[in-house]
């Protein structure tokens, strides 16, 4: 009997060491193949996600640099709390998935706070306020004054945006062509591939101002107080949310927000969020 126990003990020890050796081996393998885990608070770096064709908030300029109001703001915000920023670009509809899988710590990309999105992400305090407009060829401008006037026309917008969602809500049967980026939809309008482009007012305005075209004009859809932009963090990430809200407050108090705003818009846009 004792012999039997001895044999059993020996066998289980052998088995245990075999399995732990195996476990240690696979853990080492896993560590080697899995990506380096980023801890924003330890690294003092924020991985910031944006889409890169949403001028003047996040876009690639003539020199090929990723710039914009949102990026200047988040850098200034991060600096007030001793953080650096690393910007990563994604397609607009890939931003929430990138946040959820940990490729980025936050989204700043002219991203409107909405109840649907708030089910998947947490939003900071707002930092900008605006509404929707449509762009239309000047030759058609007299025929179409409201979104409803466009119900039988082909329209364009950016995939997954509030402009696209609002349009399909108001005009459920309209032909809406959705593009990856606003510049593609502007090109489509210029080529008569659609009659109007629906987008956020400041982005449509920036296109009109920089292209200096007389062939296209803009008309309001919703009022300029209808949407708030916020910074999105992972749902339940209160440490990050508190950091972001504190950093935003810092820049509103220390003059950074006002300075950056005046650089990009010619006035202090914080008046809009204080209303």
Task: State the residues that interact with ligand ARG by CB under 6 A.
Answer: 51, 54, 58, 92, 109-112, 158, 161-162, 200
Q: Which residues pair with 219 in a beta bridge?
A: 134
Taking the complex as a whole, how short is the minimal distance between the CB of residue 256 and ligand ARG, in angstroms?
22
Taking the complex as a whole, how short is the minimal distance between the CB of residue 71 and ligand ARG, in angstroms?
11
Taking the complex as a whole, how short is the minimal distance between the CB of residue 216 and ligand ARG, in angstroms?
19
Taking the CB of residue 161, how many other CB atoms lie within 10 A of it?
24
Taking the CB of residue 270, how many other CB atoms lie within 10 A of it?
17
Cβ neighbours for 93, distance < 8 A, ≥ 6 positions apart: 159, 160
Nearer to ligand ARG, 58 or 133 (CB): 58
Nearer to ligand ARG, 54 or 207 (CB): 54
The pair of structure tokens assigned to 118 is 């708030």
Taking the complex as a whole, how short is the minimal distance between the CB of residue 214 and ligand ARG, in angstroms?
26
Nearer to ligand ARG, 50 or 195 (CB): 50
Nearer to ligand ARG, 35 or 64 (CB): 64
Taking the complex as a whole, how short is the minimal distance between the CB of residue 186 and ligand ARG, in angstroms?
13
SS3 letters across 90-148: CCHHHHHHHHHCCCCCEECCCCECCCCHHHCEEECCCCEEECEEEEEEHHHCCCCCCCH
Distance from C-alpha of 148 to C-alpha of 144, rounded to nearest angstrom? 9
Nearer to ligand ARG, 36 or 97 (CB): 97
Distance from C-alpha of 195 to C-alpha of 118, rounded to nearest angstrom? 32
């Amino acid at each position: 009997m004792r012999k039997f126990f001895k044999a059993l003990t020996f066998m289980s020890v052998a088995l245990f060491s075999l399995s732990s050796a195996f476990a240690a081996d696979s853990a080492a393998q896993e560590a080697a193949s899995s990506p380096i885990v980023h801890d924003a608070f330890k690294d003092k770096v924020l991985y910031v996600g944006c889409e890169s064709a949403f001028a003047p908030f996040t876009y690639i300029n003539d020199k090929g640099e990723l710039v914009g109001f949102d990026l200047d703001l988040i850098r200034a915000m991060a600096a007030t709390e001793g953080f650096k920023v690393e910007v990563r670009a994604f397609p607009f509809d890939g931003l929430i998935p990138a946040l959820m899988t940990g490729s980025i710590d936050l989204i700043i990309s002219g991203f409107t706070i909405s109840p649907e999105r708030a089910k998947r992400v947490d939003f900071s305090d707002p930092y900008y306020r605006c509404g929707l407009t449509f762009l239309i060829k000047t030759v058609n401008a007299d025929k179409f004054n409201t979104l409803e006037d466009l119900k039988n026309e082909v329209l364009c917008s950016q995939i997954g945006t509030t402009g696209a969602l609002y349009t399909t809500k108001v005009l459920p049967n309209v032909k809406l062509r959705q593009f990856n980026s606003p510049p593609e939809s502007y090109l489509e309008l210029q080529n008569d591939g659609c009659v109007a482009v629906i987008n956020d007012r400041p982005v449509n305005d920036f296109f009109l101002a920089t292209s200096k075209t007389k062939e296209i004009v803009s008309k309001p859809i919703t009022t300029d107080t209808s949407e708030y932009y916020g910074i999105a963090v992972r749902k339940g990430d209160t440490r990050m949310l508190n950091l972001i809200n504190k950093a935003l407050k810092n820049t509103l108090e220390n003059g950074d927000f006002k300075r950056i705003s005046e650089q990009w818009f010619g006035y202090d846009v914080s008046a809009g969020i204080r209303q």
